[in-house]
Amino acid sequence: MTVAGRLAAAVVGFCLVAGVARAASGEAGGASTVGGAASTYAQARAKFESHLARTGPAPQGYSTIVPPAGVREIPFRSGALMLKAWVSAPPANGERRPAVLFLHGGFSFGEDDWAMSQPYRDAGFVVLTPMLRGENGQPGSYSMFFGETDDVLAAADALAALRYVRADRLFLAGHSVGGTLTMLAAMRTSRFRAAASFSGSPDQMAWGKAQPKLVPFDLNDASEFNIRSPIAYPSSFQVPTRLYFGSEEGYFAGITNRLAQLAQGAGRDVRAAVVPGDHMSAVAEEMKQSIVFFHDHE
């Protein structure tokens, strides 16, 4: 996705005023309730059957791209789907290194998405960025933060299987749409040492109502939004997580801080962190801080 496209999506798509108000009023809290019993996100996700009102590719165009020097394109399987990812090449000295699974913003993958994660490679991490179901002409249907979480976990398996990766030193990070998936994945598995979300959306009710064309299910079905919203499951974080957002992203402040507070109240190592900048300009500093955070958890 182009920088301009991501910024436009941020302006239109991340107006979380309704979510902030709802969270502040206490309507969003601990574990969600499924069938009358409190559930973690992983438990609720395993039971939930999402019903898509429409199926098809991810809602964003893409261009054919070729991996640059020092990057390989590899296949990986997610259920019945064969998807692909870009991954940095093996270190010249053959050593095994810690790795970051980096989830791109928007709903398609482009060269600028790969460039965004350069600081992780400069810091010595192997980096893998997957293209998810329905993106870039791949098989599968876009489901807005549901089936895509399966693809994230499958990509983690592919990353861990690389001979030059330390499978016990995997980290997770993502920007924008990828930041939302980062939060949800950090609630489904404990395999990552730590996770960092950059401007992810904790509340998909507000996110989706602001841009209904991106919602592939019944807009009146609260359960579909709930299962995709980290704010509904604050006690479910399974790894230390940092929730970064820009100082000019006022629509994120209330809901992100609320999610962190609720998670901390449940004994989880989750903190919100505001850095100078907007949806795009804050990323460099967010990534810099996340590298320190990841090194602290190696």
Per-residue tens of pLDDT for the chain, all 298 residues: 444 344 434 433 444 333 333 433 334 444 553 333 458 999 999 999 999 999 999 999 999 999 999 999 999 999 999 999 999 999 988 899 999 999 999 999 999 999 999 999 999 999 999 999 999 999 999 999 999 999 999 999 999 999 999 999 999 999 999 999 999 999 999 999 999 999 999 999 989 988 999 999 999 999 999 999 999 999 999 999 999 999 999 989 999 999 999 999 999 999 999 999 999 999 999 999 999 999 999 9
Angle, helices 17-24/250-265, rounded to nearest 10 degrees: 30
Distances (CA, A) of 63 to 36, 54, 100, 199: 46, 24, 25, 25
Residue 147 included in any domain: yes
Q: Is residue 254 part of a domain?
A: yes
Specify the number of domains making up the chain: 1
Whether 257 is in a domain gets the answer yes
- Contact assessment for residue 29 and residue 75, using Cβ atoms and an 8 Å cutoff: no
Q: Is residue 271 in some structural domain?
A: yes
The 194-198 sheet, strands edge to edge:
71-78, 81-88, 126-131, 97-103, 165-175, 194-198, 241-246, 270-275
**Count of all residues that appear for the chain in the document:** 298
Helix and strand totals (H; E) in the chain? 11, 10
Is residue 35 in a domain? no
Instruction: Decide if 158 contacts 74 (C-beta within 8 A).
Output: yes
Beta strands in 176-228 (DSSP E): 194-198
Task: Look up the CATH number of the domain holding residue 258.
Answer: 3.40.50.1820
pTM of the model: 0.91
Instruction: Note down the domain range covering 283.
Output: 3-30+40-63+70-296
Strands 165-175 and 126-131: unpaired
